[in-house]
Structure 1
Amino acid sequence: MKIQKIEAENFKLFTSNFDKIQDIADSDMILFNGPNGYGKTSVFDIIEFCLTGDIKRISDYSDELAIAKNERFENKILIADESKKSFVKLVLEDDNKEIEICYCYSPSEKRKGVSKENNPHYIFDCFTRTIKCNGETIENEEEYFKSLQLYDIKEIFDKCCFLSQDEHLQFLKTTKKSKAEALAFLFDVPEKWKKEQEKVSNQLDILANKKKKNCYLRELECEEKIKNDEIEKLESKINKLNKESNIIYEKLFNDKEIFWDKENVEFDDISYLNAKQDLDNLLYFAEHKKDCINYNFNRPYENLVQEYNSNPNISYKENPLQYSYMFISLIKQEQDLEEKYRMGKIAGSILQNIQDKHYENLNWTYIKEREWLNVDEIEIIKKQLDLIEKLKKTQGIIQKAMTSLRQSRDNLIRNASEAMDNGVISSNNCPLCGEPFSDRIELDRKIKEETQLLGQLSDNSVIQIEDIIKDIYNNYLKRVEKIFLEILVNSVTDETYQRLQDAKKYKIQILEVEHILEKIGISMNRNVNDSIEDGYNNLLTKLKESLIDISEEVKIQLGRRKFIDYYDRFFDKEEHNFISIDIEKFKNKKMYIENLHYNFYIDEMSKRKNELSNVQTRINKLNSIIKGLQAYQDALKAGIQEYKKKIISDIEPLLHIYTAKILQQKFNGKSIYIHSSENVQDIQFVNSAQDNQDILYSMSSGQLSAVALSFLLCMNQAYGADKACSILLIDDPVQTIDDVNMVGFVDILRYEFGDRQIFISTHEQSFEWFLRYRYSKAEKKVNVFNMKDIMLQE
């Protein structure tokens, strides 16, 4: 596979379309000449970018300059004009197929300015790759790259294919370990070996790594320890039972059918353990009898002890005692408050109709039932209202409006007068038009004048209707209004009523709280002079003082041992039954049961010993397996190390030969050797097999450059020959080695890399002539591109 064409646009200094480098697939040597700064290195960047998706020196610069990945920048590197499309393209030829690899940048519609997207760390993410074969787009690009044997090109590119002019000594100057890591691709062991090594490692991890919870050996050893502990305890219990076997049966609970309290009971494992647990708990309760009684006394009150909560909307669940204290008075007045609330609602509705002069809407049935007006008075009012309706029917549109206006105006004046009396609104401004007046007297006088003026505009029907309404009010409804005002004064507000409804949801609980407090002489009645907070705190203090002190440890034990459940099951919640229990009787009962269960211990001992024997057998077998696996793992490691050393020994002769040819002599009578650690984790270059001093200490910069060139050629020869894209790129070698070294270098390229497509850049005319001369002698084709001429033509 050969490179046929290199193309770019809006990339670095190629602002327009750069497509002059083409038809080069049949060339043995492609030479870029011209002064510095005209794009020779940029062409190498295009090749590297297309093949690897990256430009290594750009990524290295970002790390070396310590550019943070969240740092923001104004512009993107590599792209000349961010508002335009940018791309790099490489066209390859392979068996009459034309393969096009293109990375393209498409500008966003709106430029973001300073952005993290412009960070050099992310520049290559801005480009999208497309691959075409004979003009058809490849969908699965990764699989296609594998089929071309280019899947690992990024890993080997800078070691086997490309020597950059500013990084030619970088590899030689890295640490021993870094060199080994950089050449890790050389030591790829066969996949079968890798899987086998991973398999053995995983097996050992599961079987023998005691740091892991699921380690099989650790589990077995823990099981062994548990079995030994159980056997030791069983032996102790059996010995004790043998010494104390003469225990007489005595029933503890005469009125209850308790399984373990019967005589000569046959226990199985579960029933024995349950009986033992019951007796252990009952013994503990008997030993802490007084604490148990106090615990039982405190229990209903301790749940109530909570500090004051300042939240006015506190719920019963948050603080039962405080909630009960706040609403007990409402609960006790429930019926009275609900009746007052109902009466207030009715009174408010009737009163509103009276004040708005909507007499036709009054609830006459309710007024009659309460005997606030008698039947005759109500009939008179209804006849007067019928007369008003007849007068309204005789009115024209204007007079109807006048009637409605006068009623609305009177209502507004009445409501405004009440507001002024209560100081809600100013008494110096007219409530109808907002005009200011010197005082209330002047305002009332002006309203009266305007009322008289409005009366002059009204006809007789309007005045007659108004007079009837006044008569109804003055003769009958005024006294009814007074009654309803008195009812409203004593009515219940909506807020109080709603609080009552909320409290009724917990009525039973609130009354229960009051009841249990009364048992210990504490009242929840609140002093009218106390705030809720002060009253509650006083109540809480009394409650705390009424509780009996019990140690925290005992309380925890009583909770864990479920004392309340036992108090119910065995003592029927009767304190005198509980007080009468005898500790010695419980101890004797426990020993009696243990004697009955002696055979259980014997059987358990036999089981545990058999289980222990099985566990120990498994441990021995497992240790034998682990030992074999470890030996196998060591053999695999040794084999892999030998494999890696053989790879180094295969490369070393080539490095030895190429270095000698380029330098034209051995260095101080010595050559170059590759020295590695036993496990091939460290690699360095030395000039003596016996001396491990690095060549950096003994060689000049020019000689080191020759070694770098030799190593590139060596790696390309050893590893790049089998790759589909056999290329070799060297950026300006004349900057790093002298003329004598160059002769040997060119001869190596000419005779030993004839099957490679070689790209070289230079700014030295003499080197170009020499290179072309030597290649022409070998009848090899050289394609020369003067980058200065190409760039000036654009």
Structure 2
Amino acid sequence: MSWKIGRIEVSSFKAFKHINLDLGTSSLLTLDGPNGYGKTSIFDAVELLLTGQIKRIHNLFSTLMTKNKANYDDNLFWNTRSGKNDLSIKIEFVDGERKLVLARHAPVKTFETKANNRADKFKHFSLYELPDFYSKAYTAANKRENEFLDKIFGSNFRENFSFLNYLEQGQNKLLHTRVDERKDALGSLFNISDIAAEIENCRSITARLTRHLNDEKRKAEENSLNTECTALREMVQADLGSAEYRKLSTIEPGPSWDKEDPFPTYDRDVHAQFLEFIRKLSDLLPQKAAIRIRAGNEEIEANINLHAESLSSLARLGTDMGKLDDLDQTKKEIDQLAKATAILKKGPSVITAEQARTLPGWSTDRLEWFETQITTRNDLQTKNTANDSAAAELARLKQQIFEEHAKLYPDDKLCPLCGNDWGSHASMLEAVEERAQKIADALGNDGKALVDLISSMTTELATIETHVREREAILKPGYNDALHKTLTAAKTRLPAIQQLDERLRAEGIQITFTFNEDEVVVASRLEELRNLMRAKKTDEVVTPPDDWRQIIDTVFKDLQDFYIFDPQDLKNKALYIKIKANEAQSSKLKKCLDALQKIRRENDAAEKAKDKVNRLRATLEKAEQKYADQTISEIELIFHIYSGRLIQNYQRGLGLFIESRDGKQLRFLTAEKSDHDAVMSMSTGQVSALSLAFFLSLNKVYADVPLILIDDPSQSLDEVNIASLTDLLRCELNHCQLIVSSHEEDISAYMRYRFNRAGLTTSSLNMQRLAKEAL
């Protein structure tokens, strides 16, 4: 393919606000002008578009900047002086009648994300294939991946761009790479990357196999299996006879040693635990009597603790624990009598029929008569004036006061209403009756009738009141409010307390005391009850082991099952466990041997695989070295000629050689035999010439795209080297499109002159003038 650059347009990139370069069809294009006017920026723009990165900037960033900082406020590539405009690089490629327009584009909003401003980040510069040079259709349909460039310009074009098509300002970095690493740097150029990847895979596989073989955990497992196999061989016994399986435990689920298959997989520690438990259970069997005594004593103590609250209540209530129902009934009647007293105090003037019905002690038909009186009273109270009603009520109250006063002071001569001294009690009563008669005479007929009615009703209620007082006199002395409250609080526990009382009576412990709320008395009673219960314990002559109950509870549902247990059954169980352990040991030995054999087979297979991989790697390394050696030999003659033409005044001989050391290295040698690389004995200008010679040799042999970019070769070359370079380019590489920058106009003019003499077209772009025109 013969793609060449026709036009370049750069917007908002580095030094350029906007610049448009027309390269035409010239074989040589020189970019002229002083330093600082964007010559290198043009090369950076081309490299960014064709490779997706600027390698020089990437290397400088990794050398100079810290790795940890991710966000930067400014972007090295975006020219903000042009305003908030998108960054774009556009190049039109020409191949005869064919044209191809490629572009890199980054919208303004991209740079608002500070992480995109890292100088070694280029992913946000997207690649586009445009329909024409003037298009700005940066759409998803026109977007291309970087692999598209390799498809257009040839395999590995992007990786080899800096070796074949573009020589940066100064010396080629490859020359300052260690001699045994130069070949690896040119791996994609020599087409040995795939072989190198396979060699690395071989190394990785070998390392993994080695780690697998040397794994400490695996070795420990192998040693452990070996030791276990040896131990199991010693433990496996001859025929132990037979024993029938019989379940001994009565608890569910039973212990593991009582299962039909106690050893799903043999374990020495589990076997020892089973035998130890059988021994402990066997030691308990002769102590059944002692255990029965201990269990009885513990049961007594457990009952004391279990019924602690009921015992405390029993010590407080005593024989009165069953009186709750009687006290409830008595309390109910006392409350009813109190309610009746409250009603009676209201008097006949206001008592209602409903209230009268709730009063106790009515004689036959008297309640019905009293209800009739209430109806009549209500009618009279409606007809009478307020004064008549008040007078009737006063008459009643007067009568009630004097009756109550006479009960307390039967011979008192002082009036209980006004306190006047009448000389004698009889004189006081006559004065009161006289006054009452005057009040009565002042009333009307209905008023008098109301007074008489109230008087008769008062007499009837006095009978009821007498009945109420008599009942209260009978009930209140027999009612214990503290006992009632205590029984009510313990109502839900009374059945348990009564059951405990019956159990104590059955054991000969009689409760003879009554209710007492004195805490000292109650505490004394409680302690006495505990002592009486503990007195039922039996003295222990033989002391069982501390874990006797834990052993029995592990096997038996209750103690009765232990008491009837036959010792011969336990001996049979011990034999059964030994037989099953022997069977499990034999099975475990077989499994251990199989596992050990598996590990050893895997080790043998890994060793064989490792040996095969090592042989394969050796074969690949030899093939790689042979191919690299052959590939290097392809450029050796051209490099010798080119270096001789560019370095004409070298004191160690004309022309340099390349040595590959069987494809392992890439070393530059002089005509004089030396173990040192030629770069070490050269001046800066000579190294630059060597760099050019090697770069042009690689381009001559390997480049698929006829494009050569050289950034300011005159920086380090003298006039003789420049003249040699010009002749070399116009004679050997005249099929290529050459873009060369120079800050010296006479050198630029000389190069164009030599090309013109050879009949090749040239053109020049003055970057300083173009920059001013773009302002």
Global fold match (TM > 0.5): yes
CA distance in structure 2 between the partners assigned to 1:369 and 1:283 by the alignment: 82
Write the deviation string for residues 583-638 of structure 1: whole angstroms up to 9, x where unpaired: x9979854554347656656765676677667656654654444333222222222
**What residue number does 1:236 align with?**
234
- Shift, 1:750, TM fit: 1.2
Conservation of the 8 A alpha-carbon contact between 2:127 and 2:146: no
Question: Structure 1's 128 and 585: CA in aligned 2 closer, same or farther, altered over 3 A?
Answer: same
Letter in 2 for 1:571: F
**What residue number does 2:10 align with?**
8
2:636 to 638, 652, 655: 652
Conservation of the 8 A alpha-carbon contact between 2:129 and 2:144: no
**What residue number does 1:279 align with?**
274
SS in 1 for 2:10: strand
Instruction: Number of aligned residue pairs: give it.
Output: 520
- Shift, 1:783, TM fit: 1.9
Write the deviation string for residues 629-667 of structure 1: whole angstroms up to 9, x where unpaired: 322222222222332233333333332221101112554
CA distance in structure 1 between the partners assigned to 2:767 and 2:761 by the alignment: 19
CA distance in structure 2 between the partners assigned to 1:692 and 1:708 by the alignment: 20
1:779 and 2:774 correspond:
no
Question: Structure 1's 93 and 579: CA in aligned 2 closer, same or farther, altered over 3 A?
Answer: farther
Write the deviation string for residues 559-588 of structure 1: whole angstroms up to 9, x where unpaired: xxxx99985451225499499999x99798
Write the deviation string for residues 271-326 of structure 1: whole angstroms up to 9, x where unpaired: 98899587247258669999xx99xx9xxxxxxxxxxxxxxxxxxxxxxxxxxxxx
Question: Structure 1's 287 and 771: CA in aligned 2 closer, same or farther, altered over 3 A?
Answer: farther
Letter in 1 for 2:638: L
CA distance in structure 2 between the partners assigned to 1:70 and 1:741 by the alignment: 44
Question: Structure 1's 605 and 728: CA in aligned 2 closer, same or farther, altered over 3 A?
Answer: same
CA distance in structure 1 between the partners assigned to 2:130 and 2:635 by the alignment: 36
Question: Structure 1's 579 and 122: CA in aligned 2 closer, same or farther, altered over 3 A?
Answer: farther
**What residue number does 1:715 align with?**
698
Q: Percent identity?
A: 24
Question: Structure 1's 212 and 369: CA in aligned 2 closer, same or farther, altered over 3 A?
Answer: farther
CA distance in structure 2 between the partners assigned to 1:369 and 1:85 by the alignment: 105
Conservation of the 8 A alpha-carbon contact between 1:253 and 1:261: no
Question: Structure 1's 632 and 122: CA in aligned 2 closer, same or farther, altered over 3 A?
Answer: closer
Question: Structure 1's 237 and 643: CA in aligned 2 closer, same or farther, altered over 3 A?
Answer: same
2:162 to 144, 149, 158: 158
Letter in 1 for 2:57: I
CA distance in structure 2 between the partners assigned to 1:271 and 1:715 by the alignment: 71
Alignment of 1:320-339 (within 5 A): none
Write the deviation string for residues 676-712 of structure 1: whole angstroms up to 9, x where unpaired: 57783x6543436842323343111111111111121
Q: TM-score, normalised by structure 1?
A: 0.54
Letter in 2 for 1:654: I
Question: Structure 1's 612 and 752: CA in aligned 2 closer, same or farther, altered over 3 A?
Answer: same
1:32 and 2:27 correspond:
no
Conservation of the 8 A alpha-carbon contact between 1:726 and 1:756: yes
Conservation of the 8 A alpha-carbon contact between 2:159 and 2:188: yes
SS in 2 for 1:38: coil
CA distance in structure 1 between the partners assigned to 2:549 and 2:766 by the alignment: 100
SS in 2 for 1:644: helix
**What residue number does 1:745 align with?**
725
CA distance in structure 2 between the partners assigned to 1:698 and 1:368 by the alignment: 139
**What residue number does 2:454 align with?**
none
Letter in 2 for 1:83: K
- Shift, 1:784, TM fit: 1.9
SS in 1 for 2:16: coil
1:270 to 264, 274, 277: 264
Conservation of the 8 A alpha-carbon contact between 1:74 and 1:118: no
Gaps of at least 5 residues in structure 1 are 298-366, 381-506, 512-554
1:633 to 601, 605, 617: 617
**What residue number does 2:519 align with?**
none
- Shift, 1:64, TM fit: 3.4
Conservation of the 8 A alpha-carbon contact between 2:61 and 2:120: no
Question: Structure 1's 565 and 169: CA in aligned 2 closer, same or farther, altered over 3 A?
Answer: farther
1:148 and 2:132 correspond:
no
**What residue number does 1:100 align with?**
101
> RMSD across aligned C-alpha pairs, in angstroms?
5.3
SS in 1 for 2:13: coil
Q: TM-score, normalised by structure 2?
A: 0.55
CA distance in structure 2 between the partners assigned to 1:232 and 1:174 by the alignment: 60
**What residue number does 1:70 align with?**
70
Write the deviation string for residues 311-354 of structure 1: whole angstroms up to 9, x where unpaired: xxxxxxxxxxxxxxxxxxxxxxxxxxxxxxxxxxxxxxxxxxxx
- Shift, 1:106, TM fit: 2.7
Letter in 1 for 2:29: I
Question: Structure 1's 609 and 96: CA in aligned 2 closer, same or farther, altered over 3 A?
Answer: same
Question: Structure 1's 145 and 711: CA in aligned 2 closer, same or farther, altered over 3 A?
Answer: same
Question: Structure 1's 677 and 147: CA in aligned 2 closer, same or farther, altered over 3 A?
Answer: same
CA distance in structure 2 between the partners assigned to 1:126 and 1:621 by the alignment: 50
Conservation of the 8 A alpha-carbon contact between 2:262 and 2:577: no
Conservation of the 8 A alpha-carbon contact between 2:71 and 2:117: yes
Conservation of the 8 A alpha-carbon contact between 1:91 and 1:99: yes
Question: Structure 1's 183 and 75: CA in aligned 2 closer, same or farther, altered over 3 A?
Answer: closer
Question: Structure 1's 696 and 607: CA in aligned 2 closer, same or farther, altered over 3 A?
Answer: closer
**What residue number does 1:704 align with?**
687
Question: Structure 1's 588 and 2: CA in aligned 2 closer, same or farther, altered over 3 A?
Answer: same
1:728 to 696, 700, 708: 708
- Shift, 1:175, TM fit: 4.0
Alignment of 1:506-525 (within 5 A): none
Question: Structure 1's 590 and 204: CA in aligned 2 closer, same or farther, altered over 3 A?
Answer: farther
Question: Structure 1's 286 and 718: CA in aligned 2 closer, same or farther, altered over 3 A?
Answer: farther
Alignment of 1:684-703 (within 5 A): 684-687=667-670, 690-703=673-686
Write the deviation string for residues 69-89 of structure 1: whole angstroms up to 9, x where unpaired: 335335654414352233221
- Shift, 1:230, TM fit: 4.2
CA distance in structure 2 between the partners assigned to 1:174 and 1:368 by the alignment: 125
1:116 and 2:114 correspond:
yes
Write the deviation string for residues 746-791 of structure 1: whole angstroms up to 9, x where unpaired: 1211121122111011233332333223222321111222223333
1:792 to 764, 772, 775: 772
Question: Structure 1's 686 and 261: CA in aligned 2 closer, same or farther, altered over 3 A?
Answer: closer
**What residue number does 2:40 align with?**
41
Conservation of the 8 A alpha-carbon contact between 1:252 and 1:585: no
Gaps of at least 5 residues in structure 2 are 288-293, 299-354, 360-370, 379-491, 497-545
Write the deviation string for residues 363-385 of structure 1: whole angstroms up to 9, x where unpaired: xxxx99999xxx99xxx9xxxxx
Conservation of the 8 A alpha-carbon contact between 2:49 and 2:89: yes
Question: Structure 1's 146 and 709: CA in aligned 2 closer, same or farther, altered over 3 A?
Answer: closer
SS in 2 for 1:148: helix
Letter in 2 for 1:86: L
- Shift, 1:30, TM fit: 1.2
Conservation of the 8 A alpha-carbon contact between 2:37 and 2:771: yes
SS in 2 for 1:91: strand
- Shift, 1:205, TM fit: 6.0
Conservation of the 8 A alpha-carbon contact between 1:286 and 1:581: no
Question: Structure 1's 607 and 271: CA in aligned 2 closer, same or farther, altered over 3 A?
Answer: closer
CA distance in structure 2 between the partners assigned to 1:690 and 1:717 by the alignment: 27
Write the deviation string for residues 388-422 of structure 1: whole angstroms up to 9, x where unpaired: xxxxxxxxxxxxxxxxxxxxxxxxxxxxxxxxxxx
Write the deviation string for residues 428-465 of structure 1: whole angstroms up to 9, x where unpaired: xxxxxxxxxxxxxxxxxxxxxxxxxxxxxxxxxxxxxx
- Shift, 1:202, TM fit: 6.7
Write the deviation string for residues 223-269 of structure 1: whole angstroms up to 9, x where unpaired: 7656534431232113xx35x9699999894979999999xx99797
Question: Structure 1's 200 and 574: CA in aligned 2 closer, same or farther, altered over 3 A?
Answer: farther
**What residue number does 1:547 align with?**
none
- Shift, 1:50, TM fit: 1.4
